[in-house]
Amino acid sequence: MLRGLLSFRDPYRILNYAWFAFFLTFVVWFNYAPFVTTIRETMGLSVAQARTISLCNLALTIPARIIIGMVLDRFGPRLTYSALLVYAAIPTLAFAFAQDFNQLVLSRLAMSIVGAGFVVGIRLVAEWFPAKQIGLAQGIYGGWGNFGSFAAEALLPLLAAGTAFLAVGQTNWRLAIALSGVISAVYGVYFYLNVQDTPPGKVYQQPDKDGGMEVTSAKSFWALIASSFPLFCTMGLIAWRLSLVNFLSTSTLYLTWIALIGFFLLQSYKTWEVNRDVVSGKKIYPPHERYKMSQVMVLNLAYAVSFGSELAVVSMLPEFFEHTFNIGHNIAGPLAASYPLMNLVSRPAGGFISDKIGSRKWTLTALIGGVGIGYLLMSQISNAWLMALAIAMTMFCAFFVFGAAGATFGIAPLLKRSVTGQITGNIGAYGSVGSVIYATVYSLLPQTTAGNQIFFQFLGCSALVVFFLCAFLLQEPVQVPTEEIVEDPAFSEQ
């Protein structure tokens, strides 16, 4: 696989373009985290306001991953990814030039949509690689792309410090953040000109209907509706959190909740329209075309405690190292980057083990168990620890977190090809649900060693709960995509 990547030939050429696109979306998505303390001080924000901005960075990722999953299945990854990369420059520049708290919040809300980019590459990679290599290919895509959060935390502070002379002696965080958005837009155009949705002669399979996710049984329909409810509840939680810092008034908060209920009912109706024949029994899928929504729900939770915790921890870790060891943010940022650094090896490793070990279920289950144990160990870190030991513990935990995320998508693309975008969008949205819940818990805890311990204990205990769910409810994927290429008639005639 690695030799193929260096050759830059199909399908490895596509994998390289895909992971770098994901990498850039993560650079812009996480370009706030390394400057939390600096922005708070230079703009006179309270701790609660600074943490609320971090929460806003995750907010619209939830609906965006569902919507982009549907757009992706209909229009293909080439157009979808290119448009998202170009769009990323808009909220990035808005944030870089923001002058008050409200502008910071609005730009980060708009930025949170960029977090949906991950979904696009999952479908693109699945189109170009066979099922026997899907775990490793998706692991490389996810792991190397996730490395963008490391680049944001390790390199952007250095860029800001190196260009401080342009900001009258201050850390030039605005230039560093703005530059990340410009690079994203340029690559978006390059991506569109150089990527294809499928190998030559292969048809890009699309869902029969738009507007909602297709299911293959009435039971799965009701499971889908039930799984959608927490997504809207999480957005309601974000609205409540915004009201605590007076960004939303009480009346606006209530109107937001009413609107979210309306959107939930509307989405449920659109999903019923797409699946009415299945629900009524008029349409019955043959066994080889069915998938169980219950399996998607278990993967939702697995991704919530792996990738969801990653997002929350990446956002707070620089601040955690700053306060725990009493160091400056220019040092804390690179040290905290040891956590996302593990993406380079652990997420591909999770996918590779999923491919080779013979059991995708038990690979994921074991890694989720490691997530729980890792966070419980991290809860014991204090200023009495050697900093090197704290970094080693952080990297140990990160291996399981990213490995579990990779193993999750060693299973997800194998459920049903034509709705891969929507399945991965649903799973990805739950990653954001987890991150919002974790970030909210963190924002309500005291900024002390005890508060950090409670936070990591909460992460660890929730992961152990999902460990048992995976062990008892998750099944080995048996409906794998056919390895035969479905030829495009137009291509065949040429």
**Structure token pair of residue 91:** 């909220």
Mean pLDDT across the stretch 16-37? 90
pLDDT at 181 > cutoff 90: yes
Supply the mean pLDDT for the chain. 84
User: Which letter, b or e, does each residue of 443-467 get, where b requires 16 or more Cβ atoms within 10 Å of its Cβ?
Assistant: bebeeeeeebbbbbebbbebbbebb
pLDDT at 121 over 70: yes
User: Which is nearest to 303 in space by CA: 382, 405, 379, 377?
Assistant: 405
Helix intervals (H) in 97-172:
101-111, 117-128, 134-162
**pLDDT at residue 468, rounded to an integer:** 95
The predicted-structure confidence for 274-323, as pLDDT tens digits, reads as follows: 889 999 888 888 887 788 888 899 999 999 999 899 878 877 888 888 88
How far apart CA 402 and CA 340 sit, in angstroms, is 8
Separation between Cα atoms, residue 416 and residue 421, nearest integer Å: 10
pLDDT value of residue 167: 54
**pLDDT value, residue 118:** 83
Amino acid 210: pLDDT: 64
CATH, range 2-493: 1.20.1250.20
Whole-prediction pTM value? 0.79
Mapped onto helix, strand or coil, the DSSP state of residue 245 is coil
Rounded Cα gap, residues 153 and 314, in angstroms: 9
Residues 229-272 have pLDDT tens digits of 998 998 898 888 888 888 889 999 999 999 999 989 998 998 99
pLDDT of amino acid 264: 92
Rounded to 10°, the helix 134-162/329-336 angle is: 170
Query: What are the residues facing 487 on neighbouring strands?
Result: 202
71, containing H or E segment: helix 61-75
Rounded distance between C-alpha atoms, residue 431 and residue 230, angstroms? 12
| Cα–Cα distance, 420 to 458 (Å, whole number) | 31
> Band of the pLDDT at 489, cuts 50, 70, 90?
very low
Domain boundaries along the sequence of the chain:
2-493
Task: Provide the pLDDT for residue 488.
Answer: 42
Tens of pLDDT, residue by residue over 313-370, are: 877 888 888 888 888 766 787 787 778 778 778 878 877 777 777 788 999 999 999 9
Q: How confident is the model at residue 454 (pLDDT cuts 50, 70, 90)?
A: very high
Least confident of 23-27, 204-208, 429-433: 204-208
- Predicted confidence at residue 226, as pLDDT, reads 92
pLDDT for 493 equals: 39
Residue in the block written with tokens 């405690």: 305
If one compares 171 and 356, the residue with the highest pLDDT of the two is 356
Weakest mean pLDDT among 30-34, 185-189, 337-341, 437-441:
337-341
